[in-house]
Amino acid sequence: MACCLGAFWRFAGATGQNFFNAEVDGTNLIVAVPEGLAAAQRCATAGRSTGRAAATAFLAGYMQGGVGLVMNLILGPLFIVIGLFVSAGIFHLVLLALGGAERGFEATFRVASYSQAASIFNIIPGCGGLVGLVYALVLLVIGLSEAHGISRGKSAAAVLVPFVLICCCCAGLIAVVAFGMAGALGRMR
């Protein structure tokens, strides 16, 4: 657990109270990508990272034995970086829509990267995934608020709006499938 959170706490301790509030320039993104990737890779190897698991689900049949190890070592970091950029991009777009993107994409990417330290809770059987998800959301809300200098409510909206939209889309898809199956069963009689 300490190895996964090490990069986060080392950086947070080095920068003090202004961890998320630090000024962002182009070089910080160059530092944030490897540090976020290393922390996320440690979390992914310690437990199942949801982004990595979703991205490699189509390779499930090939993920056994030595092939699985090689695929995880090669594709795992790639999927983690892609997932971090996509999620940070989505959060940043919502922040832009809400008028809260005060510092730029680099600050949002940094917060998204460091919030993945909560993935370490995935190693706890049963409730670890839920605890990690909730803690990651809390870290995102606090981090976006501090990094962009906005209210917690606005940062909570920026974090929760994508999740609510995904839930609504999934519920709509389930409803379409359920009504389609009901209609097909009704015609069979």
Closest by Cα among 161, 181, 169 to 91: 161
pLDDT at 50: 47
Residues in the chain: 189
Please give the single-letter amino acid code of residue 58: F
What are the tens digits of pLDDT across the range 88-131?
Answer: 999 999 999 998 888 889 999 999 999 999 989 989 888 899 99
CA 44 vs. chain centroid, Å, equals 12
Total domain count, the chain: 1
What are the tens digits of pLDDT across the range 9-67?
Answer: 444 444 444 555 554 444 444 444 455 555 555 544 544 444 444 444 445 555 566 77
Question: Which is more confidently placed, 2 or 18?
Answer: 18
Range of the domain at 180: 2-188
How far is CA 149 from each of CA 18, 47, 184, rounded to the nearest angstrom?
A: 11, 33, 53
Q: Can you give the pTM of this predicted structure?
A: 0.62
